[in-house]
Structure 1
Amino acid sequence: MKIVGVTGNLTRPSKTRSLCEYLVDQLSEGSSGHCFDLIDALPGLGGTVWRSEAPGEVEAVLAAIEQADILVVGSPVYKASYTGMLKHLFDLVDAKALASKPVVAFATGKAPAHGEHVEAHMRSLFGFFEARMPARFIYARDHDFEAGLPGSSLKAVVHQVVQQVRTDLVA
């Protein structure tokens, strides 16, 4: 099973990347897993209008997304949504590539109220792709991390989501 994580980050290290790595690690359980940040698709991503013209670094991320058995997608919150470049990346993904695939979406942010907004945006995006998202959305704030890594309460939430994804895979 191939687990791929993608974050809307333009910098590393980050809490978003840390949570993505933890989710991919928990989901992979002996399978292969890899995380990408938007920075891995730069500078070519911003100038890519058509998939057929995508430079190698962009195509590599797109191919990994489309070939994943389980996709983990996270973003820091920007103005109550995910990053615009993350949306642009998914605008280049084949519309049928994620149909029926599990997608664990999450966001990291500071304001409690942003969680429900970014969740709605992500559910809409992955609903378009007809992907399967767990009922539980992960919204992590600064206090959910310890020294930049997921803290115990966040790990408990991740465990619940991972169990739901595994249960859904068997069903």
Structure 2
Amino acid sequence: MTDGKTLQLVMVSAGVGSPSSTQMLTQKIAATITEIAHQEKLPIELSVIQVRDFASDLAHAVTTGMQSESLRSSLQQLRMADGLVAATPVYKAGYSGLFKQFFDLVDDDALLATPVLLAATAGTPRHALVPDAQMRPLFSYLRAVPIPTSVFAATEDWGSGKKLDERICRATIELIYQMKSNVRHDVRTQASKLYRTTFSTDTSADLDEIDFDTDLMRLATGG
């Protein structure tokens, strides 16, 4: 249980237009989450990361290993989140390069046991398997907990309305109750020592955060 604390939900949208179908889907999911959380009297604070805002920062970080302050702050939001919505447009039968670049910079243990709702948009239903066939393995690798129901919206789904709304509602309920049960906190508390953690992918991090006074560091430096 959450013991009355406000849960932090981060929504990552990799849509490139403004507006975009990915942004529209993210907004529909956010509205449903807000409605159900209100019904359940569950305090949830939503924050949105628009990946397109970091396009140049991502390219710089990938090629140099140096992250801008704003990008580093967004990645830190993910580390602190109780739940995540990850949404991407589909291009050429796969998630977007911008989406992948962003999550390439997420440390392997940052999303440990974090519930994730997977969402994708495309112009044709031929891409409907992308959330489960491509996005789910990515977040499993990141040790997150993708919920059973993913949300996919093709262009034709926006006109049908009911089926898309029902799927969003189902996925949202799964996400909210995963967050409400405090899965992330309990797994991290009870089993944190059983996971191998990784060094940060941000080489611009403050050197003061690294403890050089250890046997391993002294051996590495010849001391």
Give the TM-score, by structure 2 length: 0.68
- Answering whether residue 13 of structure 2 is matched by residue 7 of structure 1, we say yes
Residue among 115, 120, 130 paired with 1:117: 130
Residue among 28, 34, 58 paired with 1:45: 58
Note the C-alpha offset of 1:117. 3.4
On the 8 A contact 1:9/1:38 being kept in 2, the answer is: yes
60-69 or 23-32, which deviates more: 23-32
Q: What is the rounded CA distance, in whole Å, between the counterparts of 1:151 and 1:60 in structure 2? A: 36
Aligned twin of 1:81: 94
Residue among 153, 157, 167 paired with 2:163: 153
Residue type of the partner of 2:31? D
- Answering whether residue 27 of structure 2 is matched by residue 21 of structure 1, we say yes
- Answering whether residue 174 of structure 2 is matched by residue 164 of structure 1, we say yes
Aligned twin of 2:108: 95
- Name stretches of at least 5 consecutive residues in structure 1 with no aligned partner: none
Residue type of the partner of 2:26? C
> Radius of gyration: which is bigger?
2
Q: What per-residue deviation string (whole Å, max 9, x for no partner) do you get for residues 87-120 of structure 1?
A: 1111111110111110101110122221113431
* Cα pair distance change 1:118/1:153, threshold 3 Å: closer
| RMSD (Å) for aligned C-alpha atoms | 2.1
On the 8 A contact 1:6/1:35 being kept in 2, the answer is: yes
Q: What per-residue deviation string (whole Å, max 9, x for no partner) do you get for residues 112-161 of structure 1?
A: 22111343110110010111111111111112225xxx933312111111
On the 8 A contact 2:87/2:118 being kept in 1, the answer is: yes
Note the C-alpha offset of 1:167. 3.3
Q: What is the rounded CA distance, in whole Å, between the counterparts of 2:117 and 2:64 in structure 1? A: 24
Q: What per-residue deviation string (whole Å, max 9, x for no partner) do you get for residues 9-66 of structure 1?
A: 2221111111112223333534210222212213211111279620123112212222
Aligned twin of 2:192: none
Aligned twin of 2:195: none
